[in-house]
Amino acid sequence: MASTPPPSTALSSIGPVPFKDVAGAGGEGHRGVPPPEEFSGTVAAMPTTNMLGFKLHRHQDTWVVDACLTGVLSVQRRFAPRPGDVVLASPPKCGTTWLKALAFAVMARAAYPPSLASNEEHPLLRLNPHACVPFLEELFTVGQEAKLELLPSPRLINTHMHHSLLPPSLTGNPDCKIVYVCREPKDMVVSLWHFAKSIMPEGSKHTFSDLFEDACKGETPSGPIWDHTLGYWRASKAHPDRVLFLKYEEMLLDRAGAVRELARFLGVPFSAAEEAQGMPADIVGLCSIETMKGLSANRTGVAGLLGFKHESFFRKGVAGDWANHMTLEMARRFDDIVEDKLRGSGLTFKP
């Protein structure tokens, strides 16, 4: 568990507001945005590969999905953090949507108490979590980064970028915080498979085995997964006051504890009165996959540059589903690869 930092005046101000309420729609429908002229030469020189038909570019030893590549480059050059910014970081399909909901509910609870759930006034009951917390690379890809300036501080933002890709103005900033969530790598691969299938063309010949082989090579969106995780792990060890490292499986085992840890790290711990009211448990219930899956906002609509259906963000939300998709031989092979890559770091995904 992270140590409790002193309360942050920035984080205890008015709190985040739903991004869509102040900025309108994000990057939905902006598929195939051509690279700005300033990046055209850089992009053309990058090695590429394909994962299940999705184009990936090799940038600074990471694999970046084509749809967000120019956004990543733009973030590196132009993102200007504000004091109090909170960045939610994760590899794809590792608990991003849940973390967005939990962080928003925790930080905005003064303006939007979870008790509003009873009359459907809470933003998380009328908006998809991705409409509440903007995706950094997407906004920069479609040239809508100015919308971030419409948000009051503290801003809540998310990214799939490796720690090594983030600008030093963020990673070296003592007035900004990063919350990182990762997942058991085999479960990440299975979740990525189901997510990718949701937008594959009808009749696609791609199989789970294809994705598994790509994952073993580290060739997945924002991969390699082990490098992504190690970067934030090491940052959390070097700067525990600025980077909180969470594991999805541990959060599932103690959901109220994870909410409390998140609140403490962000400088807005629950008061004795809030604890007596059961607020941590209320936030857990509000953000549960059971609640989220039943909402009309999450059964209709799309999110992101590739137009993923909102419902595709809410499948099972469990640990261990890899056993329903991988043979024991596949599991051992992948475990051996990950263990080798993490060796000596102190990080493990073994039970």
| 79-118 tens-digit pLDDT | 999 999 999 999 998 999 999 999 999 999 999 999 866 6
Q: Which run of H or of E encompasses 118? A: none
Rg (CA), the chain: 19
Residue 251 has pLDDT above 70, yes or no: yes
Catalytically annotated residues: 160
Q: Is the dihedral of CA 320, 128, 227, 222 positive or negative?
A: positive
% of the chain residues with pLDDT over 90: 68
- In the prediction, which pLDDT does 129 show? 92
In degrees rounded to 5, what are phi and psi of residue 93?
A: 65, 40
- In the prediction, which pLDDT does 311 show? 57
% of the chain residues with pLDDT over 70: 85
Q: Which run of H or of E encompasses 125? A: helix 123-126
Residue 37 has pLDDT above 60, yes or no: yes
338/48 Cα distance (integer angstroms)? 23
- Can you list the domains of the chain with their CATH numbers? 19-342 (3.40.50.300)
Nearest alpha-carbon partner for 286 in 153, 135, 126: 126
Residue 6 has pLDDT above 60, yes or no: no
Residue 206 has pLDDT above 60, yes or no: yes
Report which residue type is found at 217.
K
- In the prediction, which pLDDT does 115 show? 81
- In the prediction, which pLDDT does 118 show? 61
Residue 49 has pLDDT above 60, yes or no: yes
Letter string b/e over residues 45-68, b meaning 16 or more CB atoms within 10 A of that residue's CB: eeeeeebbebebbebeebbbbbbb
Burial of 281 (0-12, 13-18, 19+ CB in 10 A): middle
Q: How confident is the model at residue 313 (pLDDT cuts 50, 70, 90)?
A: low
Pairwise pLDDT comparison (86 vs 297), residue with the higher score: 86
144/41 Cα distance (integer angstroms)? 22
In degrees rounded to 5, what are phi and psi of residue 135?
A: -95, 115
Q: Count the alpha carbons within 13 Å of 11 in the hemisphere toward its beta carbon.
A: 23
Summarize the confidence of residues 5-29 as an average pLDDT: 62
Q: How confident is the model at residue 163 (pLDDT cuts 50, 70, 90)?
A: very high
- In the prediction, which pLDDT does 137 show? 94
Summarize the confidence of residues 52-72 as an average pLDDT: 93
Summarize the confidence of residues 220-249 as an average pLDDT: 97
Q: Which run of H or of E encompasses 57? A: strand 54-59
